[in-house]
Structure 1
Amino acid sequence: MLGFTMFFMHPVCLGISLVSALIYAVYLGGRRAVRFQLCGLLPMLLLAAVVNPAFNHEGATLLTYLPSGNPLTLESMAYGLAAAAMLCAVIEWFSCYTAVMTSDKFVYLFGRIIPALSLVLSMTLRFVPKFKAQIHTVSEAQRCVGRDVSDGSVLQRLRHGITILSIIVTWCLENAIETADSMKSRGYGLPGRSAFSIYRFDDRDRAALGWLSFCGLYLLSGALAGGLYWRYFPTIKGVPPGPFPISFLLVYLALCLTPVGLNVREDRVWARLKREGGTANA
């Protein structure tokens, strides 16, 4: 989805990807995701849509002239909106990825293929939340002794901030060394080493992999065949509507909504099992 979102500049594809990512983010994060979208993504979307026409003056459809004397074209505005939608969609998909793809899942997928790189990437993925939690812990401890960034003069606050940063950096380095030594002592990455995992590749995974492969290959074929062609300069032009372009868009919509559909289905199954379990216990 990240690759398709970055390379498919068709406005319908961008709209589908952005709306699907927003729906999935709200499903995963709830009110926090809505607050992030309103406070973070919406200003970013508006800023990117406004800034691009101010610097990009290409296009054949002249609308007016800016106070600086540069032309304002319809194509530059359309491209600015498309670029802003792409940026927001990529950020949303990344937020969904970090919420779903935990470090143990990443190690399970790539631990036997690229053990060293998978360990580094899993540590990197979990670095930001652990870093934030540790900063909060250290800040609370420093506040108890009167050395928080909110205490004292400006110079004292700066010193306290540098002290907290030094503590956090030292903790990060020590934690990385301890993790590396621990994994090495357990034989991580050695040939023939077995690894415990709660995940199993079953029939549901095979069905999901087959569906994703079909959608990916179909969309790649459609893109190579020009079924998703769209340009913004020098004039706005895209592939005319037809059965094949519409089929590509429908498959793209189905692909974007796949994670939401899977989660909704699993929630319904889980709710049914709980009802059946409660009835049996009664």
Structure 2
Amino acid sequence: MVIKSFKESHPIVLFSYFLSIIVISIIQRNYYLIVLITISAIIVDYFYNKRDFLKDMKYFLVLVLLVTITNPIFVMEGKDIIYQNSFITVTRQALIYGLVFGMLLASMLLWFKVMKRCISDSHIVYLFGSILPTLGLVISMSFNIINKLKNQYQKIKEANYHMPCKNKFVYYRNVIVILVTYAFESSLDMMNSMISRGYGKTKRTNFHLYSFKKDDLLKLLIIIILSLLCLWGYFGYYQSFYYYPMIQVYQFKLIDIVFFIAYVALAAFPLWLGGKKNV
């Protein structure tokens, strides 16, 4: 049987995978699982974004450090006090929870970036075009406008490369004005183009070359089975995990091996099929 690479999978398979991994990851509280999810997200991001990997890690570390430092400012719970004055109480539990939550938040950003590499505008239109055409169009336009603004910003920087500005505030203010104006003009041009083509007046069909094949069914079944195992582990064993007032010391059980393998297998699923064309 011919098995396509992960990026060449049917849009339903891609959407199901990223929906599963993001939802299952974001609900976790067990620090062992969050560490596994974070490591998996870093590896997958390296596989799909090698050129920007070091930049991603820079933002990853900054975000984790920022959340770790700021969490004790807003959450002053916990028994192990590290520092205390009349305004703030810093506890070990708050610092550790900030570190864990920062890792989870940063890993979510990596998953979204990988999703952006795998799911294109045509996938979004195909998935939501017939069910929710307006939503599909808005999501597709949102993805597209981000890339357009990024490219336009690079053009502005290149145009002003030989025109240094002493006042950075004025420079960035002008850049923002230019980008906002460009966004409005692009949106207006697109709206006029859609109106002239009769968008919204009659029911429309979308041309696509996607076909749901046997290998897509196999991938979807694997994703569903692994996701159900992960959800079973969460609702059955990890849902009540706590950090305050004391961090729960988790005792490993034999069943945990099954759930941990399921989490790692689901997170590493894009790597299995990353470069494979045939089996």
> Aligning the two structures, in what range does the TM-score lie when normalised by the shorter sequence?
0.7 to 0.9
Select which of 208, 213, 224 maps to 1:213. 224
User: Which residue in 2 is equivalent to 1:52?
Assistant: 71
Select which of 126, 134, 153 maps to 1:116. 134
User: Which residue in 2 is equivalent to 1:279?
Assistant: none
Q: How does 1:34-53 map to 2 (within 5 A)?
A: 34-37=54-57, 39-53=58-72
Letter aligned with residue 33 of structure 1: F
Determine the C-alpha separation between the residues in 2 that align with 1:8 and 1:255.
Answer: 14
Superposition deviation, residue 190 in structure 1: 6.2
Select the structure of larger CA radius of gyration: 1
* Contact 2:77/2:244, CA 8 A, preserved across alignment: yes
Higher mean C-alpha displacement, 73-82 vs 62-71: 62-71
Higher mean C-alpha displacement, 100-109 vs 230-239: 230-239
Pick closer, same or farther for the CA change 1:165–1:18 going to 2, 3 Å. same
Select which of 240, 254, 260 maps to 1:249. 260
User: Which residue in 2 is equivalent to 1:133?
Assistant: 151
TM-score by length of 1: 0.79
Letter aligned with residue 126 of structure 1: N
Instruction: Give unpaired runs (5+ residues) of structure 1.
Output: 273-282
Any idea what the Cα deviations from partners look like across 1:12-45, whole Å, max 9, x if unmatched?
A: 21111111111111111114212320x2211322
Q: How does 1:76-115 map to 2 (within 5 A)?
A: 76-115=94-133
Higher mean C-alpha displacement, 230-239 vs 64-73: 64-73
TM-score by length of 2: 0.80
Pick closer, same or farther for the CA change 1:50–1:226 going to 2, 3 Å. same
User: Which residue in 2 is equivalent to 1:4?
Assistant: 24
What SS does the aligned partner of 1:230 have? coil
Any idea what the Cα deviations from partners look like across 1:56-76, whole Å, max 9, x if unmatched?
A: 33223x254346686543322
Determine the C-alpha separation between the residues in 2 that align with 1:114 and 1:47.
Answer: 38
User: Which residue in 2 is equivalent to 1:201?
Assistant: 212
* Contact 2:82/2:92, CA 8 A, preserved across alignment: no
Select which of 151, 154, 171 maps to 2:167. 154
Instruction: Give unpaired runs (5+ residues) of structure 2.
Output: 1-20
Superposition deviation, residue 119 in structure 1: 0.6
Aligned-pair Cα RMSD in Å:
2.9
Any idea what the Cα deviations from partners look like across 1:218-273, whole Å, max 9, x if unmatched?
A: 3223322235542111222266422333322211111111112221434xx4xx9x
* Contact 1:229/1:239, CA 8 A, preserved across alignment: no
* Contact 1:25/1:96, CA 8 A, preserved across alignment: yes
Determine the C-alpha separation between the residues in 2 that align with 1:54 and 1:44.
Answer: 16
Superposition deviation, residue 115 in structure 1: 0.7
User: Which residue in 2 is equivalent to 1:65?
Assistant: 83
Choose between structure 1 and 2 for higher RCO, CA contacts under 8 A separated by at least 6 residues: 2
